[in-house]
Amino acid sequence: MAGKQGRAVTEDLASYRSSRGLVSTADPEVDKPIYRKPGFDGKITSLGHMEELISAFLKKTREAQGLSRADVAPMLGLSIPVYGRYERAFSKMTVTRMIHLCEILGFMPIDMIFEAAPHLWGRTSEEAEDCLTLARVLRRLPNGTTRDLIRLLQRMIPDDDDSDRGISDVAETVK
The answer to whether the beta carbons of residues 166 and 154 sit under 8 Å apart is: no
Query: Residue 22, exposed/middle/buried by CB under 10 A (0-12, 13-18, 19+)?
Result: middle
**d(C-alpha 111, C-alpha 22), whole Å:** 23
DSSP code of residue 26: E
Alpha-carbon distance of 134 to 146, in angstroms, equals 12
Give the pLDDT of residue 163: 47
Is the entire prediction scored with pTM above 0.85?
Answer: no
pLDDT tens track for 124-145: 999 999 999 999 999 999 999 9
Query: Strands, DSSP E only, in the chain?
Result: 23-27, 30-36
121 compared with 7, residue with greater pLDDT:
121
Burial class (CB in 10 A: 0-12, 13-18, 19+), 36: middle
How many Cβ atoms sit within 10 Å of the Cβ of residue 114? 20
Longest pairwise C-alpha distance within the chain = 64
Domains and CATH numbers, the chain: 15-120 (1.10.260.40), 141-174 (no CATH)
3-state secondary structure of 146: helix
Q: What are the Cα distances from residue 52, in Å, to 5, 116, 151?
A: 42, 8, 39
pLDDT of 86-135, one tens digit each? 999 999 999 999 999 999 999 999 999 999 999 999 999 999 999 999 99
Residue 144 CB contacts under 8 Å (≥ 6 apart), including other chains: none
